[in-house]
Structure 1
Amino acid sequence: MSAAVAERNIATLHRFHTAVNSGDPDTIAKAFDEYLAPDLVFHAPVAVGTTGPEALKRVWEVLLGAFPDLRVVVEETIAEGDKVVSRNTVTGTHRGDYQGLAPTGRTVTYGEIFILRFVDGRIAEIRGVVDVLSQLRQLGAVPS
């Protein structure tokens, strides 16, 4: 794979994050249709009861319901071949129910790292590690 393909994949990832950071459900839905392969393999860090793009859509519905101002900042990307690794910082204010927790009004900041595999310019597979423990500590759900 060429350096041009790796750069194209990084640019696609950044456009995807710009769309999901909009907070607009229509923009996000269009981004999912445009940037995710229909047969996406999503290794979800949380159980959502479905697979493929629908699983990622459900994760975002839950997150935006709980943290309507959720923002993902891409801190670093590394691309090689058909894969892009993205280290992100996520922030949001807890304004809706989340994992059984009533809204606290607290702002959370936590890290995540995702490995994305691209096929024909679309995200075909996602594997991730999300610092949910830090998130839950900030919400007061687990002791510090």
Structure 2
Amino acid sequence: MSTAATNKAAFSRIHDAVNSGDLEVISKTIDEVVMPDMLFHAPVPMGTTGQQALKQVWAVLLRAFPDIHVAVEDVIAEGDKVVFRNTVTGTHQGEYRGMPPTGKSVAYNEIFIVRFADGRIAEIWGVVDVFAQLRQLGAIPT
């Protein structure tokens, strides 16, 4: 199997885990697929790094949107990188960014570039449409 195919398969494992809705499955998969000191460049301010940062992102998202679903729209793999474009949907049922649950549904887009090293995720760059997410939750006027 080519490096690009191996990296796409590793990405697929993460995608399957996050759509399980089970934080324990997600954390275990992150431990297996993500380097402990992974560099994370995304619009998610926090005081953690590496695997812990990614685990914290999913803990926050699952608490806020227990039915969250990530639909992969496009995947492009070349060399040591995989690029994917997603549509994320969910219902706001828990605290999120200081907002109490609204019961509102959200649908927003994101694009990630993931760099692999030795078959594991070493670095992630993410662009998430947080504006659309917050607008749909009523935190930003339409």
TM-score interval, smaller chain: over 0.9
Aligned with 1:64 (options 58, 62, 65): 62
Alignment partner, residue 84 of structure 2: 86
| Structure 1 gap ranges (5+) | none
- Secondary structure, counterpart of 1:75 in structure 2: strand
- Secondary structure, counterpart of 1:113 in structure 2: strand
**How well do the aligned residues superpose, as a CA RMSD in angstroms?**
1.0
Q: Is the 8 A contact 2:42 2:128 kept in 1?
A: no
Q: Is the 8 A contact 1:89 1:109 kept in 2?
A: yes
- Secondary structure, counterpart of 2:57 in structure 1: helix
Q: What is the TM-score with the length of structure 1 in the denominator?
A: 0.95
Number of residue equivalences: 142
Rounded to whole Å, the distance in 2 between the matches of 1:133 and 1:124 is 27
Alignment partner, residue 93 of structure 2: 95
Alignment partner, residue 31 of structure 2: 33
Q: Is the 8 A contact 2:86 2:110 kept in 1?
A: yes
Rounded to whole Å, the distance in 2 between the matches of 1:75 and 1:12 is 17
Q: What is the TM-score with the length of structure 2 in the denominator?
A: 0.96
Rounded to whole Å, the distance in 2 between the matches of 1:19 and 1:110 is 20
Runs of 4+, deviation exceeding 2 Å: none
